[in-house]
Amino acid sequence: MSGTCALPGDAEGRGDGGVGDRDDDAPLPAALVAVHPTRLGATRAAEEEFVAEEVPVALEYNGLSHAVMLATPLDLEDFALGFSLTEGLLASPADLLDVEVRTRPNGVALQLRVTARCEALLKERRRSMAGRTGCGLCGTDNLDQVFRPPQRPVPPLPAALAADEALVAALSRAMRELAAAQPLQQRTGGIHAAAWCGIDGAVRWVREDVGRHNALDKLIGAMARDGVDASQGFAAVTSRASFEMVQKAALAGMPMLAAVSAPTHLAIRTAQACGLRLAGFVRDGRATLYA
pLDDT of residue 289: 95
CB 203 within 8 A of CB 240: no
User: How far is the C-alpha of 21 from the C-alpha of 19, rounded, in Å?
Assistant: 7
What pLDDT, on a 0 to 100 scale, did the predictor assign at position 20? 44
Question: Which sign, positive or negative, has the C-alpha torsion 92, 68, 149, 262?
Answer: positive
List the catalytic residue out of 5, 118, 135, 197.
135
pLDDT of residue 122: 83
Q: What is the DSSP string of 182-205?
A: -HHHHHHS--EEEEEE-TT--EEE
135 a catalytic residue: yes
Q: Is the pTM of this model over 0.75?
A: yes
Contacts of 89 (CB under 8 A, 6+ apart): 61, 66, 83, 114, 118, 121, 122, 139
pLDDT of residue 79: 97
Q: Is residue 103 helix, strand or coil? A: strand
Any bridge partners for residue 127, and if so which? Answer: none
Give per-residue pLDDT as tens, 163-177. 999 999 999 999 999
SS (H, E, C) 229-281: CCCCCEEEECCCECHHHHHHHHHCCCCEEEECCCECHHHHHHHHHHCCEEEEE
For the chain, which residues score pLDDT lower than 70? Answer: 1-25, 42-46, 126-151
**C-alpha torsion angle, residues 219, 225, 228, 233 (rounded to 10):** 10
**Residue among 102, 90, 107 at smallest CA distance from 8:** 107
pLDDT value of position 280: 95
Exposed, middle or buried, 58 (CB in 10 Å: 0-12/13-18/19+)? buried
